[in-house]
Structure 1
Amino acid sequence: MKLFFYLALIMPVTFLAQTKATIIIENNSNIDRKKTVVTVNWKNILERYPKIDTSNFVVINSKTKKQVAYQLEHQNSSSIQNVLVQVDVKAKSKLTLYIQEGKPEIFTVKTYARYVPERKDDFAWENDQIAFRTYGKAIEGSNEDAYGFDVWVKRTNKMIINERYKLADYHTDHGDGLDYYQVGHTLGAGNMAPYVKDTIRYSANYHQWKVLDNGPLRSTFQLIYDEWNAGGIKVNAVKTISLDAGSQLSRIENIYSYDDDKSMSLPVVVGISKRPAAGNILLNEQQGIMGYWEPTFEKNGTTAIGSILTTPTTNMWIDKTQLLAKTTIKSTEPVVYYTGAAWDKAGKITDAKKWFQYLENFSLEIKNPLLVSIK
């Protein structure tokens, strides 16, 4: 009895709690997975822990005995769909997590997304590494209009979107980064568009939006585009974009629908804006990896852009204004790819070699997902 009392004094109450369910995360690849957000099916947890109190449980790392940050993911549903956890898993190893009763810590917000009506219908999203925005209806037809994704480089792990819009001076580096990326009439940092009759068929900007989840570990939202004429084909599009904590790349799931023969394949391209000055370029058609280390912009540093396709790439090439990767889709069938950016002044990815290696490793991680089981 005295021994138990002594242990209770030196050990947090959480670790004395009874484990209600065990999550095993297995990494069978040769790549260490660092700060990776892992999706755990909520129904599988309920099977092991049917009386779980969603406001009173913790996830514990079996080795460190510390709480693991988690998020309840709803995917725009009233019910929980998944639990997201951010973990490190070394190559060829397993990680065990315990679900127990207890009061969760307040987790740092590492992702954020929102509609920005005060700035001409922008939609912006960010994580602890990088930030992006795209454009809405209000900017159409103006000299500011742009078709692609914009990048806001940052060198802080704090969320900066709200502060930058509040300052209304985001083209100046106030110590945490800035917006100096140029989109123009290109697909910018990896947007996608139909490619019909050897021509990119840009849509108008998004006209509707919906936030599905918003941090702390993953933010997901939808952008809805009105019907447009894509070289004689009337097309609608819904783009579901998610960004995980720790990642340089967003996951993009696009659904194009059209009234023509639905068995017909529609060519589409992912594009990256190219600068007039020389930069370093990676076009790996076989692996579907397209990377660009831009020329340095004087005092603002160097931005890196990259896209990874998960569907077969039929061609990659460079034209006067952008790098392009072509694939095909069918009406109402989702097409998934990843696109994003990095900044050398953030101090993490500081040259083209490191950026291209990051993209290649990311591609391997997509092809070798972590295995998750519940006991």
Structure 2
Amino acid sequence: MMKRFALPLLALSLAAPAPAQAPAGEASLPPVDKPLPPAPDKTPRAAVMIADYRYDDLLWENDRTAHRIYGHALQAIEPPSGSGVDSWGKTVRWPYMDRQLRTGDQHGYHGEGMDFYNVGGGRGAGGLGIWFDDKLWTSRNYRAYRILSNGPDAADFEVDYAPWPVDVGRKVWETRRFTLPLGTHFTRMVSTIGSDSREPLVVGIGIGKKTTGDGGDLTVDRARGMLSWWGPNDPRHGRMAIALRVDPATIVDIRQDADNHLVLVRVTPGKPFVYYSGSAWSLGEGGFRDRVSWDRYAAEQTLDFAPPAAATR
């Protein structure tokens, strides 16, 4: 099992975080509506869990950031549910997603974070698809999962995506490993895409363009393999920031479609490749209150793009 986590680990504090200070003209933390049940343990930790009470959402978070992806059961309830990556803001160092989701109101602010990021049919914070004929061909929700480590130092798990078509001439499928250590905003993703053809693939890894409203600012640094998005300001809940990092040597192009900003990378079927997806909330952990600070952080992280010695199956 791959155990190396190349992301830098930051010093942790057990003290309660200070309230976010918003720049002039920016949103402030909304008032707390019905505080969450108290956390059983306020020690900073990474965590991953299956929300079988909510159509098998998979939740993972650390002391900085929080995410979820959607299970197969949700497809019948919320069509067209898809394989994009959701991102939540958080204002505490301990896990809160499960307690928030169990309230039935994950979109409200209950004192520890909130979900106002609308993945929709896009890629969200680092979902992918196959780029073919100027179109992104994407999977549905994950079909199987395996939790490899539920913290405390890292949330580590794998999911399988069932075969999906690329136009009429090809099928592909995917296993993806997600690893989020403490002290970072970046999840390491190791994707292995299988296919009924040995021909190389072009994979599009995306940032949703309309997840928190129209607009936002995109920074592209091809030399570092970085796309960094600073979302539009909403007076009720601030901004979300998303960044992708890929191996610059694999980049084919930077493109966009109606829903996503995309970095296109060349991939060999059956061979794992590595990329990173990061996110932050302008009112939450990390102290990113402006675009410059988020771009600098996303660009300066030392990341390891070496794939594991064997496929992640």
> What TM-score comes out, normalization by structure 2 length?
0.80
| CA distance in structure 1 between the partners assigned to 2:7 and 2:133 by the alignment | 45
Q: Does 1:316 align with 2:257?
A: no
Corresponding residue SS for 1:366: coil
Q: Does 1:339 align with 2:281?
A: no
| CA distance in structure 1 between the partners assigned to 2:196 and 2:276 by the alignment | 27
Question: How has the CA–CA distance of structure 1 residues 151 and 356 changed in structure 2, closer, same or farther, with 3 Å as cutoff?
Answer: same
Instruction: Note the alpha carbon deviations across 1:321-371, whole angstroms, 9 max, x for none.
Output: 211100111111001000020011016111100010011111xx12699xx
User: Which deviates further from its counterpart, 143-152 or 335-344?
Assistant: 143-152
Q: Is the 8 A contact 1:248 1:342 kept in 2?
A: yes
| CA distance in structure 1 between the partners assigned to 2:7 and 2:204 by the alignment | 33
Q: 2:48 aligns with which of 104, 109, 113?
A: 113
Q: Is the 8 A contact 1:209 1:221 kept in 2?
A: yes
| CA distance in structure 2 between the partners assigned to 1:304 and 1:82 by the alignment | 26
1:194, distance to aligned residue in structure 2 (A): 1.1
| CA distance in structure 1 between the partners assigned to 2:51 and 2:235 by the alignment | 30
Corresponding residue SS for 1:234: strand
Number of the residue aligned with 1:372:
none
Instruction: Note the alpha carbon deviations across 1:225-274, whole angstroms, 9 max, x for none.
Output: 111112221111100000010111100000001121x2x21010001111
Larger helix proportion, structure 1 or 2?
1
Counterparts of 1:287-366 in structure 2, within 5 Å, are 287-310=224-247, 311-346=249-284, 348-362=287-301, 365-366=302-303
Tell me: higher relative CO, structure 1 or 2? Use CA pairs within 8 A at least 6 residues apart.
2
1:120 counterpart letter in structure 2: Y
Number of the residue aligned with 1:230:
166
Q: Is the 8 A contact 1:170 1:178 kept in 2?
A: yes
1:136, distance to aligned residue in structure 2 (A): 0.9
1:143, distance to aligned residue in structure 2 (A): 3.6
Larger strand proportion, structure 1 or 2?
1
2:128 counterpart letter in structure 1: M
Question: How has the CA–CA distance of structure 1 residues 361 and 204 changed in structure 2, closer, same or farther, with 3 Å as cutoff?
Answer: same
| CA distance in structure 2 between the partners assigned to 1:85 and 1:308 by the alignment | 12
1:167, distance to aligned residue in structure 2 (A): 1.6
Show structure 1 runs of 4+ deviating over 4 A. Answer: 81-89
1:277, distance to aligned residue in structure 2 (A): 3.0
1:84, distance to aligned residue in structure 2 (A): 10
| CA distance in structure 2 between the partners assigned to 1:144 and 1:117 by the alignment | 20
Number of the residue aligned with 1:160:
96
> What stretches of structure 2 of length at least 5 have no aligned partner?
12-40, 307-313
Number of the residue aligned with 1:265:
200
Q: Is the 8 A contact 2:45 2:153 kept in 1?
A: yes
1:152, distance to aligned residue in structure 2 (A): 1.2
Number of the residue aligned with 1:131:
66
> What TM-score comes out, normalization by structure 1 length?
0.68
| CA distance in structure 1 between the partners assigned to 2:236 and 2:42 by the alignment | 35
2:207 counterpart letter in structure 1: I
Question: How has the CA–CA distance of structure 1 residues 140 and 85 changed in structure 2, closer, same or farther, with 3 Å as cutoff?
Answer: closer
Q: Which has the larger radius of gyration?
A: 1
RMSD between superposed Cα atoms in Å: 2.5
| CA distance in structure 2 between the partners assigned to 1:303 and 1:319 by the alignment | 20
1:319 counterpart letter in structure 2: D
Question: How has the CA–CA distance of structure 1 residues 144 and 226 changed in structure 2, closer, same or farther, with 3 Å as cutoff?
Answer: closer
> What stretches of structure 1 of length at least 5 have no aligned partner?
1-73, 76-80, 90-105, 370-375
| CA distance in structure 1 between the partners assigned to 2:163 and 2:244 by the alignment | 25
Counterparts of 1:195-274 in structure 2, within 5 Å, are 195-231=131-167, 232-260=169-197, 262=198, 264-274=199-209
Corresponding residue SS for 1:256: strand
Q: Is the 8 A contact 2:172 2:193 kept in 1?
A: yes
Number of the residue aligned with 2:29:
none
